[in-house]
């Protein structure tokens, strides 16, 4: 995996394992006249421990930062103490992940392999939906349904799906809501999401 920047005259490349990435600058841009909030454009400097590789800058919108951080297998340093404005969904994903980590993990049946996530085709499909919430609660039946799908989604894609099905005006209700499985439509809640190990 390499980080690439293509300019008119040069192709800059750094091997991901050799590189260190630093947030060096932040600028506000009004993307379109009618967009309500300005976009925050971050400048990241990519350096390498390999002296043959010259440092280069990449620019991206702050809302894509979380995605980059996730794909990059190297820490990102924040040199300028830039406050990175993430979207409400990205903020939600952090809580979502922490919550799912508390759930019971799921062990694949022997012979079954983890496939790539069908949402991003990058991360392994590391989640399985099991109707666990009614076991936790009292004898009242929950509205959740059993999903029989094999693991098909990574936790980030499932979290984005989870967030996208909610009342966008009321993020405080997101964690406690039920959404349909993206594949079979069986309803599930956050307690039903298991990480595949
Ligand atoms: Zn995914
Ligand atoms: Zn399903
Ligand atoms: Zn449930």
What are 93-147's pLDDT values in tens digits?
888 999 999 999 999 999 999 999 999 888 999 999 999 887 555 555 678 999 9
Range of the domain at 57: 2-86
Task: Calculate the average pLDDT of the chain.
Answer: 82
d(CA 62, CA 76): 13
Neighbours of ion ligand 3 (CB under 5 A): 133, 144, 189, 192
Shared domain for 59 and 94, answered yes or no, is no
Shared domain for 98 and 116, answered yes or no, is yes
Shared domain for 101 and 82, answered yes or no, is no
Shared domain for 63 and 105, answered yes or no, is no
Shared domain for 186 and 163, answered yes or no, is yes
Segment 23-42 mean pLDDT: 70
The model's confidence at residue 78, banded by pLDDT at 50, 70 and 90, is: confident
Share of the chain above pLDDT 70, in %: 82
Shared domain for 97 and 189, answered yes or no, is yes
Shared domain for 164 and 130, answered yes or no, is yes
**CA 136 to chain CA mean position, Å:** 27
Residue 33 has pLDDT above 80, yes or no: no
Q: Please give the full DSSP string across 11-48, using - where no structure is assigned.
A: EEEEEGGGEEEEEEEEEEE--STT-SSPEEEEEEEEEE
The model's confidence at residue 2, banded by pLDDT at 50, 70 and 90, is: low
Please report the pLDDT score of residue 14 as a whole number.
65
137 or 163: which carries more pLDDT confidence? Answer: 163
Shared domain for 36 and 48, answered yes or no, is yes
What is the Å distance from ligand 2's center to 182 Cα?
Answer: 7
Shared domain for 69 and 95, answered yes or no, is no
Shared domain for 72 and 12, answered yes or no, is yes
What is the Å distance from ligand 1's center to 158 Cα?
Answer: 7
The residue from 45, 69, 86 where one domain ends is: 86
Segment 158-187 mean pLDDT: 90
Count the domains in the chain.
2
């Amino acid at each position: 995996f390499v980080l690439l920047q293509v300019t008119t005259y040069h192709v800059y490349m750094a091997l991901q394992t050799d590189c260190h990435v630093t947030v060096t600058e932040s600028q506000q841009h009004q993307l379109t006249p009618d967009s309500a909030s300005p976009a925050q454009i971050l400048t990241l400097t990519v350096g390498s421990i390999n002296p043959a590789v010259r440092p280069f800058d990449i620019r991206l919108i702050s809302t894509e930062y979380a995605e980059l951080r996730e794909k990059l297998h190297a820490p990102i340093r924040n040199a300028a103490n830039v406050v990175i404005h993430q979207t409400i969904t990205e903020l939600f994903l952090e809580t979502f992940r922490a919550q799912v980590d508390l759930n019971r993990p799921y062990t694949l049946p022997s012979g079954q392999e983890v496939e790539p996530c069908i949402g991003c085709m990058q991360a392994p499909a590391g989640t399985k939906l099991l109707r666990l919430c009614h076991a936790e609660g009292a004898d009242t039946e929950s509205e959740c349904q059993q999903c029989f799908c094999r693991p098909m989604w990574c936790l980030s894609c499932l979290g984005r799906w989870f967030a996208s099905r909610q009342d966008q005006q009321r993020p405080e209700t997101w964690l406690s809501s039920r959404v349909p499985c993206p594949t079979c439509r069986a309803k599930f809640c956050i307690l039903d999401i298991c990480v595949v190990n």
